[in-house]
Amino acid sequence: MNSIKATAIPVGAMLGLAAAAFGANIFAQEPKEPVKDYNQRALEIYEFRKAAASGPERGQEIFYYKCWFCHNEFVQGVPQLKGLYQKPQLLSGESVNDDTVKEKIRNGGAGMAAYKYTLSDADLDDLVSYVREKCCWNSDAPPLNPRYRAR
């Protein structure tokens, strides 16, 4: 037991000297954000940026991965999102505007998943811009791949 105490004291003293030599807060520094390489296709997929960096085109990609599975023309009993902004109110009775649509996506509802911890504010902005401006495509004619160029 004495050997453990004898070892712990010099190690603690060495850490204290190292902290003094390199600055008092070397152990309290914030970790740096890793550099993102958007040439890595996996990062584009993970951040829903294959189609575009932002805007309705990126929103369309998010819609495809997160919303289309339930909100398509083949599923019955689920509200269709085509023409959502032309409707007077949501099923909850709230008026249809960007804020109420974002809150519905964040918090979900009966039979709808909540995306509060999955989608960021930028993701929601792009998704809502797509639903407002371009939503939705016919499943028999899905949107073209923006990276494919026919010759």
Q: How many Cβ atoms from other residues are within 10 Å of residue 129's Cβ? A: 19
d(CA 142, CA 133): 17
116 or 16: whose pLDDT is higher? 116
CATH (residue range 48-133) = 1.10.760.10
**Is the per-residue pLDDT at 28 higher than 70?**
no
* Model pLDDT for residues 62-103, shown as the tens digit of each residue: 998 889 888 888 888 888 888 899 998 888 888 999 999 999
Question: Mean pLDDT across the stretch 117-121?
Answer: 92
Question: Mean pLDDT across the stretch 1-18?
Answer: 57
What is the H or E stretch that residue 59 is in? helix 56-62
Q: How confident is the model at residue 121 (pLDDT cuts 50, 70, 90)?
A: very high
d(CA 127, CA 104): 12
So what's the pLDDT on residue 105?
94
Q: Give the tokens for residue 61.
A: 């990609």
d(CA 94, CA 88): 9
C-alpha distance across the termini of the chain, in Å: 78
Domain ranges of the chain: 48-133
* Model pLDDT for residues 30-64, shown as the tens digit of each residue: 778 777 776 666 767 767 777 677 889 889 889 98
* Model pLDDT for residues 128-138, shown as the tens digit of each residue: 999 999 888 77
So what's the pLDDT on residue 3?
56
